Chain A
Amino acid sequence: MIVALLGLHVVVGAATLAFSRRLGRLGLVLGAVPMVAVVAWLLSAAGGVLDGRPVVGTLEWVPSLGLSLDVRVDAFTFLMLLIVSGTGTLVVAYAWSYFGRGPEAGRVAGLLTMFAGAMVGVVVADNLLFLYVCWELTSITSYLLIGIDDQKAEARAAATHALVVTAMGGLVMLAGLILLGQQAGTYSLSGLLSSPPSGTVTSVALVLILVGAFTKSAQYPFHSWLPGAMVAPTPISAYLHSAAMVKAGVYLVARLAPAFADTGMWRPLVVSVGLTTMIAGGLRAFRPFDLKQILAFGTISQLGFMMVLLGIGRPETTAAGCALLLAHALFKAALFMVVGVVDHQIHSRDIRELPQLGSGWTSIKVAAVVGAASMAAVPPLAGFISKEMAYGSLVDGTGGDRLVLVGIVVGSILTAAYSIRVAVALVGPAAVRTEEPAPLVAPSPAVAFVAPPVLLTAATVVLGTVPLVWSGLIDSASGALNQWSPTHGPHVHLALWHGVGPALVLSIVTLAMGSTVFALRRPFARWQAALAPRTTGAEVYDGVVARVLSGAGRITAVVQSGSLPVYVAVILATAAAAPTVALVTGGWWSGWPDAYGRIGQLPVAALMVVAAVAATLATRRFVAAVLLGTVGYGMAIFFVIQGAPDLALTQFSVETLSVVVFLLVLRKLPDRFEKPAPAMGQPLRIVVSLAAGAFVVVMALAASGARTAAPVSQEMVEQAYPKGYGHNIVNVILVDIRGIDTLGEITVLATAAIGIAALARSSAKPRRSGVEHHRREVGG
């Protein structure tokens, strides 16, 4: 069933893309079908899955690689699917109004559906390689979605940035997944978790996997792609870059943590990276004036928070992390949608320019305030409950837990402060603006446009005030994760009121300190401007990319000098040197072969020697070509004498053709050889030529005496007719016994033919092919 749902995403996505122009925004309706189907399936399967009976399914794909579409939906996957497909449906509904009759609606719809399918694949996959494939598919669809406005250089650059970082992390992760799979002897995720391997290789594998998760979830120091990705239209930001895709890294960490948290570097690495991200992202959220940028850094910060909670791998923190996953998806998607509505109606997201929102904007203002309050963990909202759980899970722990707790509290204080900044910007711009607000002339948004964020806000309020609604879901989800933990966790009881305890005190302190930071924002901003590092993550990325490109350019300049004599010299020297090493290190000399086989060979050999020596002394190119041809024909006569008509025939034909091609080339070249170019002097040329020649002689002598095993040709002779239906053994070898080789060789021939034509054309007609343009592309 789940495999069928995955297929539905692919089919609907592809169909929507194929007819995107004709469908327009009707494509959004079509694209929502698979997401609604997943939600419907979730509701029908909820009973069993939440009671701890996972739904499994499988479809063979590449059995020889151990690659099968194993799917497994347990309660944690259920939670993720609810986020992915639930918010997905609302985002598509929101996009209906956002894009209006714009031309990109159809394409966005198809890509969003494709993305949703890949994301569903990531969370349902029970096979590491299947998971990896879906993981990279989310990166690719994200790339296409960020760059949806492909006329803008900024959008293309941001899309490439995101793809380079996440795909690089994905490749590192693939190495880790393969190491882990080989170590465990299985690529099944549940099999891996039920008997986790250990040891150095496993530790290394886990670090590699974590790198992949960190890049995907925009953790420091890989975070810089996420703020850039905000050039995408807001529905895409709301879905991919807050609710769904960036949670893939968190998902993987959450899956693996209960079984592997104690292995190697896992816990210190995850906790330190997560806390750094949480605090640094929170600090960075004060600097920009673009609302989407503020929310982007806020998302980075919250992802760090989730990373810490779910990466520790203890039942209590895991439960808090599950609650935060859902709470964050609700309030962050709602906030993004609110910002999108404002941007769409007023054409600005700059908090210094926003006007006072008047009548008709009440629902948007409420959604903004509730969303920001949930982000700041104000009771009685979903964000508050999850943060209470996080504090509660760490407050009774060891010294290390306390340290983590301090970090989380600092991060939460910053979160509260920038949440207030967002809320004030949207509701009371007077507090943050620098100029008088312009009178609001923009129309208030339509009901359909406002409905999705309002629905999400309502969910935030309901989950906050009636914790019983999601208590069972979070309990089952964390139970599904902790199943693999050495210590099974206690049941989770979400509650609005835990009584007066250290967690509540910390919550109050967080809110109070957050308000203080916001009140002191001007000195805080000055202090931050003075202390913050001068270079941003995006600049670091740009620097790295520029260095890599210039380094590659320098290496290319050295390796590809463009001088034909140098290329030939390198090839010949390598061909002479490498086998010589093998010759000298092995027992190679088994005596002189016979001087000659048949008497007729001697005059032919003499002719060939004379022609070869004369070719080196020739001063005219034409003469040299003819002399080389003579050597080749001599070789063909050798084959005739030896009784190999097939080889002789081939040799004759090849020589004839070579001479003809030589003649063609010679028309373009001067009649006589010039003095050697300074790139390689005459002495060096002679040395390389002599080395290559000497090597060929020695190799031939050594090889002719070195036969020890029975020749394989005997069997070929016997098999030629019964198996190959031919008496000509050479031909049977070519087309049957070594047929695959021949297929490869003729493919190379065809490629070479195209290359020859392209080369000759590009240099022959500078006006038509644009040599200048070509050079720029190659050199730049």
Chain B
Amino acid sequence: MRRSLIFDSTVRLVFDLAMVLSAYMLFAGHNQPGGGFVGGLVAGAAIALRFLMGDLRDVIGVVRFKPWTPLAVGLALAAGTSIWTVATGSEPLDHGAREFDVWGIGAVKVTTATVFDAGVYCIVVGLVLMILEAFADEIEPADDGEPGEVRR
């Protein structure tokens, strides 16, 4: 595959910015434009660009997880939040909020909605990773590892 210097450099620059942006969107999303879904999409697009650059193995190699791990974590967070809200005596996903005073930052409000949104974020990222994993064979010639194994 022919590599483009401009494309590679741009992706390197954009990737980190996009990941930070996606995290910001996730946490700010409850009050400003953003949220888990959009944040996950931004992160997914950044990862996909990195993949096109032929560099996905670095990304996954650094964080050291399988593509389906975010799926599982996301489902667990979302389902866990639902169960938590029921277990604490309210309707399913009727979220609660609590304010903490963090030294140096000030009052920080934490809601269970953010946890749920983090689950959504993880699932979107996991979906993108799974799609890329499915097409990963094209980038590298298939070796004889276990099916579904991510090559590092």
Residues of A at the B interface (CB closer than 8 Å) are 645-646, 649-650, 653-654, 656-657, 660-661, 663-665, 667-668, 723-728, 730-732, 734-736, 739-740, 742-743, 746-747, 749-750, 752-754, 756-757, 759-761, 764-765, 768-769
Contact = CB atoms under 8 A, between A and B. Distances in A.
Nearest to A739: B93
A739 B116 contact: yes
Interface stretch (B2-10, B75-83, B100-108): B75-83
Contacts of A747: 75
Given A735-B116, A736-B94, A739-B116, A753 B31 contact: no
B29 A752 contact: no
A746 B118 CA distance: 12
A739 B78 CA distance: 10
Contacts of A735: 30, 35-36, 93, 95, 113, 116-117, 120
A746 B119 contact: yes
Given A649-B33, A746-B78, A753-B123, 14 more contacts: A650-B41, A653-B38, A653-B42, A657-B41, A664-B52, A667-B138, A728-B29, A728-B30, A728-B33, A731-B30, A732-B30, A753-B126, A753-B130, A757-B67
Contact of B52 (A663, A732, A756, A761): A663
Interface in B49-78: 49, 51-52, 67-68, 71, 74-75, 78
Given A753-B131, A759-B134, A743 B78 contact: yes
B128 interface: yes
A752 B127 contact: yes
Given A724-B95, A753-B127, A646 B38 contact: yes
Main secondary structure of the interface of B (DSSP, over half): helix
A582 B88 CA distance: 44
Contacts of A660: 45, 48-49, 51-52
B135 A725 contact: no
Given A656-B45, A739-B93, A756 B134 contact: yes
A516 B41 CA distance: 87
B93 A731 contact: no
Contacts of A654: 41
Contacts of A663: 52
Closest 9 CB pairs of A and B: A739-B93, A760-B134, A653-B41, A726-B30, A753-B130, A660-B48, A727-B31, A731-B35, A725-B97
Contact of B147 (A645, A649, A769): A769
B88 to A, nearest CB: 15
B152 interface: no
Contact of A650 (B38, B52, B75, B144): B38
A753 B131 CA distance: 7
B134 A645 contact: no
Given A650-B41, A746-B78, A749-B123, A728 B134 contact: no
Among B30, B51, B94, B123, the most chain A Cβ lie within 10 Å of the Cβ of B30
Contacts of B79: 743
Contacts of A731: 29-30, 34-35, 113, 117
B45 A728 contact: no
A188 B19 CA distance: 61
Chain B, interface size category, equals 35 or more
23 contacts: A646-B33, A649-B34, A650-B38, A653-B42, A654-B41, A657-B45, A664-B131, A723-B94, A725-B109, A725-B111, A728-B33, A728-B35, A731-B29, A731-B30, A731-B34, A731-B113, A735-B117, A746-B119, A756-B130, A759-B134, A761-B147, A765-B142, A765-B147
Main secondary structure of the interface of A (DSSP, over half): helix
Nearest to B98: A725
A657 B111 contact: no
Contacts of B126: 750, 753
Contacts of B29: 728, 731
A650 B127 CA distance: 16
Contacts of B30: 725-728, 731-732, 735
B23 to A, nearest CB: 14
Nearest to A653: B41
A749 B138 contact: no
Nearest to A747: B75
Contacts of A742: 78, 116, 120
Nearest to A657: B45
B116 to A, nearest CB: 5
A668 B32 CA distance: 40
Contact of A727 (B32, B68, B97, B130): B32
B94 to A, nearest CB: 7
A761 B49 CA distance: 22
A650 B78 CA distance: 20
Interface string B15-41: 000000000010001111111111001
Contact of A750 (B34, B35, B51, B127): B127
A756 B131 contact: yes
Among A650, A660, A752, A754, the most chain B Cβ lie within 10 Å of the Cβ of A660
B89 to A, nearest CB: 16
